[in-house]
Amino acid sequence: MIRTTTDLSLAARQGYDAIIDVRSPAEFAEDHIPSAINLPVLDDAQRAEVGTMFVQRSKFLARRTGAAWVAHNIADHLQTALADHDGGFRPLVYCWRGGQRSAAMATVMEQVGWPVTRLEGGYQTWRRKVVADLYGEEPPGDAALNLILLDGYTGSGKTELLRRLSHEGVQTIDLEALADHRGSLFGATHVPQPGQKLFETRLAEALACLDRTRPIIVEAESSRIGNLSLPPVLWTAMKRAPRIELIVPVEARVAHILGEYQAIGADVEALQAALARLPRHHSRETIAGWSAAAQQGRLPELVTDLMLQHYDPAYRRGAAARRSVLLRLMLERMSDSDLQEAARRIAETVAQVSAPGPGRSHEA
């Protein structure tokens, strides 16, 4: 008899040799359980054709045609992606709602001799878990998110400091990396953002891997990152979180951006398109001047103007809503040694924090 489960905790998922999503590639791309591999029993075109056949022609014909394709595709997976697994292979298999597609794959795997487990409720079981984690009531006490915001003007090295802090053993979440988005046009990833569901899966998984009794550093963000929205559990915790403020002169920030994003001027058309999408509280003449600077390769001038006229004012407009400061860290330069020392000071401050809330302000 095929085993079934609804346990999708991190520990439970780590007990399988593979998590196999048998849905179509399009369904998988929209969202899937972390670390799952896609071995579809029906591809996108086949799934669409079976659905059309079911509605417009005959339920029997649709089932027979679908079964033939499913059998063919499972056979192909056995001879390719699954060919090297021995008899002890322990997969978890799921489809959309724990229906016929996962049942077909699990049945064949059981006949092969593999100790297969089928996810009851399919992907929808996973989605309900994510929604409960991110949209439900925040757990009280030690289970509540213990966040500290890393704050500062654009170009202050927040992303680089998150990376260094992680190497120092500090718990961090890089929200912009999860969202495939950078907060300014300087760091555009040229990678499409995921949909909201996949972003939430990434976020829920990142949180599941962290110890909630210890502080977690995140970059100060608005409630939206590009086209994506921060779910309530995270946004509520961010609004009450204390912060570490980076104070860096504009000259150092400009130099950092030009060094960090060396390809910023390589694609002039993309840069000009990004400039054209900036909020329209800038005059046409200002936008035209920035576009001309991009076209002519006057990047230091362009970056400085964008800092002083666009990003810095936007940062200051939100300053009134910012929470208490745990540490003000002043950096005159942003060399490797300066950033490493900043990471050390931040890690030292974080180690002294045991719970979220207002703390004593320090300057360094």
CA 308, CA 313: separation in Å to the nearest integer?
Answer: 7
Q: Is 209 a catalytic residue?
A: no
CA 24, CA 21: separation in Å to the nearest integer?
Answer: 8
Residue with tokens 């005059």: 283
Contact 281, 269 (CB under 8 A): no
Beta-strand pair 216-219/224-225 = unpaired
CA 112, CA 355: separation in Å to the nearest integer?
Answer: 52
State how far the alpha carbon of 104 is from the alpha carbons of 66, 71, 157, 192, 336, in Å: 11, 8, 51, 34, 55
Collect all residues with Cβ–Cβ distance below 8 Å to 251 and sequence separation of at least 6: none
Quote the strand ranges of the chain, DSSP E: 3-5, 18-21, 37-38, 91-94, 117-119, 147-152, 171-173, 216-219, 224-225, 228-229, 243-247, 325-330
CA 242, CA 148: separation in Å to the nearest integer?
Answer: 5
CA 81, CA 101: separation in Å to the nearest integer?
Answer: 18
Of 36, 68, 34, give the one whose Cα is nearest residue 50.
Answer: 68
Contact 359, 244 (CB under 8 A): no
CA 315, CA 282: separation in Å to the nearest integer?
Answer: 16
Q: Which of 19, 20, 92, 95 is catalytic?
A: 95
Task: For residue 106, report the phi and psi dihedrals to the nearest 5 degrees.
Answer: -65, -35
164: enclosing H helix or E strand: helix 158-167
Residues that are catalytic: 95
